[in-house]
Amino acid sequence: MADQPEGKKRLPSQENLLLDYARRLEKHKDGRKIVILHLSALRPFNRRDQHIRAAASNFDALVSDMTGQLFTMLNADIFFIFKSEALAEVETIVQKIKYLFDDDPLVAEEDKQTQSFASWYDAATEYDSFLQLVQGMAQSEQDRQTAVRARMDSRAALKAKQKQGEPMTPDVLARVETALVRADLSNLVRRQFVCNVDSKMVPTQSFSELFISIADLRETLLPGVNLTANRWLFQHLTETLDRRMLSMLTKTDSISISGEISFNVNLATLLSKEFQSFDDNIAASRRGQMIIELQKEDIFSNLSSYVFAREFVQDKGYRVCIDGMTLETLTMIHRERLGIDLTKLVWDPELVDGGEEVHSLLKRVVEEEGSEKFIMIRCDNREAIDFGKSVGINLFQGRFVESLIAEDGRRREMLRLKRRIERN
Amino acid sequence: MAEWGSAAARNDGLENTEESLLLDRLNRIEGNASGYFAVHLNLSKLRSNHKQGHFLEIAARTFDILVDSNDATLFTLTNKDMALICRNVDVDDVDGTVEKVRGLFSEDPLTDVSENVFDDPFSTWYDLSNPEDFAAFFAVITDLAVEAEQIHIAEAAQQDKEQQMGEPLAPSNLTEINKTLQGMRVADMIKRQACLQVQSGSGGDLVFFELFLSMADIKERVAPDINLFASPWLFQYLTETLDRRVLAVLVEEDFNEINDPLSINLNISTVLSRDFQNFHRAVDGNMSKIIIEFQIIDIFADMKSYTYARDSLQQRGYRVVVDGLNPLSLQYFEPADLRSDFIKISWGPEFTGDEEESRMEEMREVIAKAGRDSMILARVDSEKAVKWGLSLGISRFQGFFIDKLVQVIGGGRKPRANREAN
C-alpha cells in the first residue's frame, strides 16, 4: 500500500525479494554477474547469525555505491548480484570471506567436498538457470513453512492426546460442571509458597497461593480427558472452580487458610453474588491478607469492568496481582496505570540467553517499580533464583522453592534433634 | 436493597416504588426536619457501560456500614440515581462513603473533580432542615417519580425483548449448536463492511472490505432460543468452528479476480491449522489482498502463538489487524509492541464527542504513540464519531455511518481501492 510506511513492520522474506529482483533482472542481465556463497554448507557452529552478518558486511561498500545487491537467505546462503566491471573486487572479497571460515571442512577440505564454497553465474548467458535456482529456493522456503506448521499441527495434537488424554468437548465440560456442584474439592486444594530466598538459598515464606489441582481434578472426575485442551472451554470451567474455591475459603473448616494467601479468580467472579457473600463472611481484617490474582486476557476482555472491580476490591483491602507475565508483556502492559499491586513473572531460561540488554532492562523495571512488587514464578531450578536475584527480584515460587522449603524443614528438624541430644 | 427494576415495583405502579417510599419519608419528616440532610448521587448520568446492574449493586452496598450503624436510609431510584437520607450523621462519615463510590467510577468523566466549577455533577447535598433545600430536593424527587413510571414501562418492553434473546449458551446446549454449525454452509450469511481512509474534502479511499458472519442470521438459523453471547468464553469457542466454515467458503473464491482487499476475523489457532493452509493455497499468491484480524483476548491468552502466527503471516505478505480494543484500552498498554499492520479501536456510546480537552489531549498522545497510520476507528455510527477520530489524528474508519457514506459515493463511483492492491 502506497500510503503506509509499513516496510519497517512487515519484512517479506529475502527469498521472495530475491525472486522479485531476479525477475526484474531479465531486462538488465547484460553486464551483470552473480556469486552465491554456500554458507548453508558450513558446520552449524560456524554459521551462527554473527558469522553470517560478518560475512555479509564485507559487501557493504559495494552495496552502498550501487555496484551490487545482496540477499541473505534463511538457510544462510548469500547471493550477490553485481556489475561485471567489479568482478576483480568481488573475487577479492569472496577470498577474504573464505579465510574467515578456513577451519571449516567446507574450506579446509575443499577438494573432498561435493559442494563448493562459492558458485559464479554470468547473468547474460546463464540467466535461465539462475532464475530457476531462485524460484526453487522461494518455493522450498514456502514448502518448509507449510510443512513446519502441518507437523506442529498434527504432531502436537497427537502428542497432547497421548500425554494428556482426549481433548475436552462441550459435552464433557457440561458433565464436569455438573459433577463439580456436588463434589468435595477440599482434598484437591493445593498450596504453593511464595518465598524470600537469601544468598544461602534459605527460604522465608511470604504468602501462599491456593489453587485447585487440575491434574488431580481430572484424575478424580474424568481420567483420560484433557481438561485444558481447549482454552475457551477451560476458561469457562475456571469460573465454576472460582465459585467452589470461594465457598471453601468461606468455610474455614474445609481448608486451612492461615497466613497471607493468594488465589486466582475471573473478573466476572469478582462482580458476582458469590464474591459478595464471600466478602460478607470473612473477617474484615482477613481482607488485608488476601491477594487476588487475575490474568491479562481477562483484564483486557473488559477493561471498564476491571477498573471498577479493582477499585472495589482494593478499597476493601485486598491486593491485586497480575499473573503469567513474560518479559514481552511486562514492558507492553502498563501495570502501574492498571493499579496492579503485584506482578508474577514467569521464569524462562531465555531470560538468561537474552544477554546484557534483557538483563539491564529487567533490572531497571524492577528497580523503578520496587522489588517487593515482583514474584518470579515456575522456578524449576537454581538458575531461576540466581537470575531473579541478579535483576533485583527477591520473591520466588515454584517446584525448586518447594524443595528448598522441604530441605529447610529437614535441616531445622535435624537441628532440633541435635539440641535435644545435646541436652540429654 | 430493592433490586433494579424488580417485578414488584413494576406491577404496582407508583405505590411501592423507591420514589414513592422516599416521598412518604420526606412528608413524614417535613414537620420536624432538624438534623436531617440528603445526598443525591447522579449515577443516572454515568456512561452506559458503567451503569450495569452489578456495578450499581456494589455501589449501593458501599453504603451498608454507614446505613447499619447510623440513622440513615439509602434509596436506589429507578433511573439508577441514589438518594441517601441521614439524621444527625457525621458529614465526614457520609462524605467518606460518597468518595468511595466516586472512586469506583473513577474512569467515568462524571466523577472528574473540577477545581473551578462550583457544582459537583456527581453528588448534590441538601440540608433538609432548611425549607428552601427541602423544597428543592422534594421537587427533584417528584420529577424522578414521574420519570420512574415511564422507565418501568420501557423496562417491561425491554425485558420481553431480553426473553426473546433466549436461554444462555451453556456447555449443555453448546454441543448441539456446534454440531449443526460444523455441517452448515454459511456463504449466504457472510456480510461485508468497508473500511475507508477518509481525507478531508475528498470522500474516501477503500482500505479493505471486512467479511464477517452475521450472528443474527446464525442465531436465527441455528439456535433461535439461545443467547449466544451469554458467556464470552463459550462464544469464543464457537468462533473456532465458525472460522472453519468461513474458510471453507473462501477457498472456493478465485483470488486472482478479486480487486478489493478483504479482511477476515480468525482465531490464532485457526491460522496455525490445516484449514488455513488450504486457504493459503487458494489465495494463490494474492496475499497482499488479504488482511487477518485477531482479537486482543486471543492474543493475550497466548502471546507465543500470536507472535508465531503474525510473523509467518507477515512474512508471506498478509497483513494483520489487532481487533477488540477501545480507546480506553490504549491507555493501558503499548499496542505498537504487538507489531501488527493495523490496530482497530471501537467507538462506543461511552464517548460523547464532548470529552474534556485534557482527556482528549491524553488520548491524542496515546494514539500518536501507538501510530496514527495504523489506527482504524470501528463501529462509527455518526458523523460525530468521524470528527472525533479525525481530531485525534485517525484517518481510517469503519461502521454503519461509513456504510451509508459508501452507498452515497457508490452512487457516483466506487470507492477507489488502494493502488498497490489492484
When the pLDDT of each residue in chain A is averaged and rounded to a whole number, the result is 86
All residues of chain B having their beta carbon less than 8 Å from the beta carbon of residue A308 are 50, 55, 58, 104-105, 107
Is residue B355 predicted with pLDDT exceeding 70?
Answer: no
Average pLDDT over residues A120-142: 86
Residue B171 touches chain A, beta carbons under 8 Å: yes
Percentages of chain B per state (helix, strand, coil), in multiples of 5: 50, 20, 30
Question: How many Å lie between the alpha carbon of B418 and the closest alpha carbon of chain A?
Answer: 6
Among chain B residues, CA nearest to A172: B171
CB pair distance less than 8 Å for A308 and B231: no
pLDDT reported for residue A420? 87
**Partner residue facing B107 (CB), from A301, A307, A331:** A307
Nearest 5°: CA angle at A171, between A168 and A175? 95
Interface test with A, best of B196, B237, B260, B277 (most A CBs within 10 A): B237
In angstroms, rounded to a whole number, what is the distance separating the alpha carbons of residues A135 and B419?
Answer: 27
The 10 Å Cβ neighbour count of residue A238 is 20
Share of residues in chain B with pLDDT > 70 (%):
88
- Count the alpha carbons within 13 Å of B391 in the hemisphere toward its beta carbon: 15
Share of residues in chain B with pLDDT > 90 (%):
46
pLDDT reported for residue A8? 34
Average pLDDT over residues B25-41: 92
Residue A296 touches chain B, beta carbons under 8 Å: yes
**Partner residue facing A326 (CB), from B303, B373, B419:** B303
pLDDT reported for residue B23? 92
**Partner residue facing A12 (CB), from B317, B328, B334:** B317
Average pLDDT over residues B192-216: 87
pLDDT reported for residue A186? 86
Q: Taking a contact as any Cβ pair under 8 Å apart, which residues of chain A between 271 and 290 contact chain B?
A: 271-272, 276
Is residue B2 predicted with pLDDT exceeding 70?
Answer: no
- What single DSSP character describes residue A274? H
Cα Rg of chain B (Å, integer): 26
pLDDT reported for residue A140? 73
**Partner residue facing A311 (CB), from B57, B106, B420:** B106
- What is the pLDDT confidence band of residue B413, given thresholds at 50, 70 and 90? very low
**Partner residue facing A4 (CB), from B172, B280, B373:** B373
Q: Contact, B392 vs B370, CB < 8 A?
A: no
How many residues does the structure list for chain B?
422
Interface test with A, best of B318, B333, B338, B346 (most A CBs within 10 A): B333
pLDDT reported for residue A283? 83
pLDDT in tens, A156-168: 656 666 666 677 8
Is residue B10 predicted with pLDDT exceeding 80?
Answer: no
Which helix (H) or strand (E) segment is A84 a member of? none
Is residue A22 predicted with pLDDT exceeding 50?
Answer: yes
**Partner residue facing B234 (CB), from A169, A232, A338:** A232
Longest dimension (CA), chain A: 101
Is residue A26 predicted with pLDDT exceeding 50?
Answer: yes
pLDDT reported for residue B121? 85
Cell of A379: 522456578
Give CA torsion, residues B198, B200, B202, B207, to 10 deg.
-10
- Beta bridge partners, B204, equal B198
Cell of B346: 471501537
Question: How many Å lie between the alpha carbon of B416 and the closest alpha carbon of chain A?
Answer: 13
Is residue A200 predicted with pLDDT exceeding 80?
Answer: yes
- What is the pLDDT confidence band of residue B237, given thresholds at 50, 70 and 90? very high
All residues of chain B having their beta carbon less than 8 Å from the beta carbon of residue A9 are 314, 339-341
Place of cell 449501593: B60
Average pLDDT over residues B372-383: 90
Among chain A residues, CA nearest to B316: A12
pLDDT reported for residue A336? 92
Q: Rounded to the nearest 5°, which phi and psi values hold at B347? A: -70, 145
**Partner residue facing B274 (CB), from A1, A5, A153:** A153
pLDDT in tens, A355-376: 888 899 999 999 999 999 999 9
In angstroms, rounded to a whole number, what is the distance separating the alpha carbons of residues B390 and B204?
Answer: 13
In angstroms, rounded to a whole number, what is the distance separating the alpha carbons of residues A313 and A318?
Answer: 6
Average pLDDT over residues A207-212: 94
Q: Where are the alpha helices (DSSP H) in A165-213?
A: 170-182
Handedness of CA B160, B166, B169, B172 (dihedral sign): positive
What is the pairing mode between strands B416-417 and B204-213?
parallel
Cell of A390: 541478579
Is residue A223 predicted with pLDDT exceeding 60?
Answer: yes
pLDDT reported for residue B276? 94
Q: Taking a contact as any Cβ pair under 8 Å apart, which residues of chain A between 4 and 63 contact chain B?
A: 4-6, 9-13, 16
pLDDT in tens, A97-110: 998 888 888 888 77
pLDDT reported for residue B422? 35
Residue A235 touches chain B, beta carbons under 8 Å: yes
Q: Which residues contact B137 (CB under 8 A, 6 or more apart)?
A: B26, B38, B40, B126, B128
pTM above 0.90, yes or no: no
CB pair distance less than 8 Å for B231 and A236: yes
Q: Which residues contact B119 (CB under 8 A, 6 or more apart)?
A: none
Is residue A144 predicted with pLDDT exceeding 70?
Answer: no
Comparing A261-270, A278-287, A308-317, which segment has the lowest mean pLDDT? A278-287
Pick from B58, B66, B67, B63: which is nearest to B104 by CA?
B58
Pick from A33, A36, A69, A37: which is nearest to A51 by CA?
A37
- What is the pLDDT confidence band of residue A58, given thresholds at 50, 70 and 90? very high
Handedness of CA A83, A84, A89, A94 (dihedral sign): positive
Q: Contact, B145 vs B209, CB < 8 A?
A: no
Comparing A205-219, A264-278, B107-121, which segment has the lowest mean pLDDT? B107-121
Q: How many CB pairs under 8 A join A and B?
A: 156
Pick from B19, B16, B68, B61: which is nearest to B40 by CA?
B19
Give the 3-state secondary structure of residue A216.
Answer: helix
Q: Which long-range contacts (CB under 8 A, 24 or more apart) does B361-368 make?
A: B362/B331, B363/B327, B363/B330, B363/B331, B363/B392, B364/B391, B364/B392, B364/B393, B366/B327, B366/B330, B366/B331, B367/B327, B367/B330, B367/B392, B367/B393, B367/B394, B368/B393
The 10 Å Cβ neighbour count of residue A338 is 20
What is the pairing mode between strands B262-265 and B204-213?
parallel
pLDDT reported for residue B421? 37
- What is the pLDDT confidence band of residue B154, given thresholds at 50, 70 and 90? confident
Q: Rounded to the nearest 5°, which phi and psi values hold at B285? A: 85, -5
Burial class (CB in 10 A: 0-12, 13-18, 19+), A352: middle
Among chain B residues, CA nearest to A315: B100
In angstroms, rounded to a whole number, what is the distance separating the alpha carbons of residues A131 and A23?
Answer: 7
Q: Contact, A338 vs A369, CB < 8 A?
A: no
- What is the pLDDT confidence band of residue B9, given thresholds at 50, 70 and 90? very low
Q: Taking a contact as any Cβ pair under 8 Å apart, which residues of chain B between 346 and 405 contact chain A?
A: 350, 373-374
Average pLDDT over residues B62-81: 92
Question: How many Å lie between the alpha carbon of A154 and the closest alpha carbon of chain B?
Answer: 9
Handedness of CA B24, B28, B31, B33 (dihedral sign): negative
Q: Which residues contact A14 (CB under 8 A, 6 or more apart)?
A: A71, A72, A73, A74
pLDDT reported for residue A307? 92
Is residue A1 predicted with pLDDT exceeding 60?
Answer: no
- What single DSSP character describes residue A114? S
